[in-house]
Amino acid sequence: MSSLDFPDFPSSSDPFLTSRSSSTSSYGSCDLSPHDRFLSSVLTAFVGSIITGISSGFFVAFCTAWICWVAGIRIVVVGLWEVALAARLKPTRGGDQFLRLLRHVPLLNRSIAFRTGQIANHPFFNKQGASYEPVRVSNEDEEELQHLRGNTPESTSQTAHLMPFPSPSYSREPSPSPAAQGPPTSKIFSSSSRTKVQASNRSSMFRFTSSPPPSILGWIGWIYAALYSPIVQILWLAGNWSDGPSAGNVKLVRAIGVSVTALSLTMDTRARYGESLKDWLGPWAQRTFTIIHAVSCLTLGLVIAILLILAVIQLPAPVFFIPVYLVFSTIWMFGSFLLFPPFDGSTAPNSVPTFLAGLLMGAFGGLFTSAPAFGSMMFASTDGATLKEYLKCDTVDTWHKFIAIFP
């Protein structure tokens, strides 16, 4: 027995060992359990949907709840388009400005432009607070419209069945002045009672000539989506990069939650917000706003793409999952562009009933989109530290604790 050599253990005076031992003995392991790791992903989808509902309205929250499942390609495509415009110091007004990228796609070149104009002028948007007036069409614009219609009565009749709403009217007469239109529908949810008239563009076919001023709720939604979310999602991705129990599942459901927030940046371009900043602070403020909006949208799109790639690697998913996802994402993207392309127009709540409708739709959509994360959390392993124990661990960095809680 005396001939056996035992390894030398560090003395209890070692400060690192003492701190680690006391932390572990008091709170258990400082590795967050897979069960509690899903919590922030549940909140990401739920809170993001509610903020979308109260800041962008009922219809946007409804569309987001349906599109977010396979929205990665749409978010990246719109983000690239917005960054390209921002790099040329052009505001992202959406509408026909975006449709020029799509009109060369077969089967979309004749239907998407008309559908956009019709949906933008549909009474639903007017009820939500937006105001759209007939636009002045130049000779060049009229020729472009004839080109899209095929320049023949037959081609126009062939596309008539694709029009779910009445065709918007166009006029060569200037639109009424803001004073003639009267005050906005409501001042309760607006940061200003002044109606903002957008500058006309010579090459514009579908131009929203007026819209409500930026609202406080709209600013809250933009700050959450464009300033807060990109930072938090990048930190979460860095803190959860490695593989482990349920690592693939948590990244997959996280991608759905991030999509809920990012989609609002691809629907309402909020160019009117940049215009208001330009009036207050000058052109540099508008350009800064446009750049932040574009970069944030693209950043969230890239985060979603990375999350999905890591999820496929770490699950591991069947090989056929990748082409199936890409095909469905592409179809879903073009379908969503027909329903809700990027445009600069407000559907934000402008009264108490529309606010409550947006809130309830956001809550319902949040339950719907957070269900995968919540279900995964219920079946995940509880081995490891609970959230309470994790937050008390002295060896865990503050930013790791932050991303464990906040959406």
Q: What percent of the chain has pLDDT over 70?
A: 65
CA distance 247 to 317: 13
Residue 50, CA distances (Å) to 46, 182, 339, 358, 363 in order: 6, 32, 21, 8, 5
Does 168 score more than 50 pLDDT?
no
> Contact, 319 vs 20, CB < 8 A?
no
Does 202 score more than 70 pLDDT?
no
The conformational region for residue 123 under phi > 0 = left, psi -120 to 50 = alpha, else beta, is: alpha
Tokens 């939650």, residue located: 257
Is 401 part of a structural domain of the chain?
yes
CA torsion 119-124-125-127 (nearest 10°) is: 160
Is 224 part of a structural domain of the chain?
yes
What's the angle, vertex CA 348, arms to CA 344 and CA 353, rounded to 5? 155
Range of the domain at 184: 31-405
25, HSE (Cβ side, Cα atoms, 13 Å)? 6
Across the range 223-241, mean pLDDT stands at: 95
Is 361 part of a structural domain of the chain?
yes
Is 8 part of a structural domain of the chain?
no
The residues that bridge with 210 in the sheet, in sequence order, are 131, 197
CA distance 114 to 205: 10
Is 62 part of a structural domain of the chain?
yes
- Residue of 348, 228, 213, 201 whose CA lies nearest to 292: 228
pLDDT of residue 22: 34
Domain count, the chain: 1
Is 170 part of a structural domain of the chain?
yes
pLDDT tens sequence across 81-101: 999 999 998 888 887 778 777
At 346, is the pLDDT very low, low, confident or very high (cuts 50, 70, 90)? low
CA distance 17 to 132: 68
- Between 342 and 146, where is the model more confident? 342
Is 173 part of a structural domain of the chain?
yes
Is 157 part of a structural domain of the chain?
yes
> Contact, 94 vs 343, CB < 8 A?
yes
Does 123 score more than 80 pLDDT?
no
Q: What is the pTM of this model?
A: 0.72
Q: What is the mean pLDDT of the chain?
A: 74
- Residue of 288, 287, 269, 291 whose CA lies nearest to 218: 269
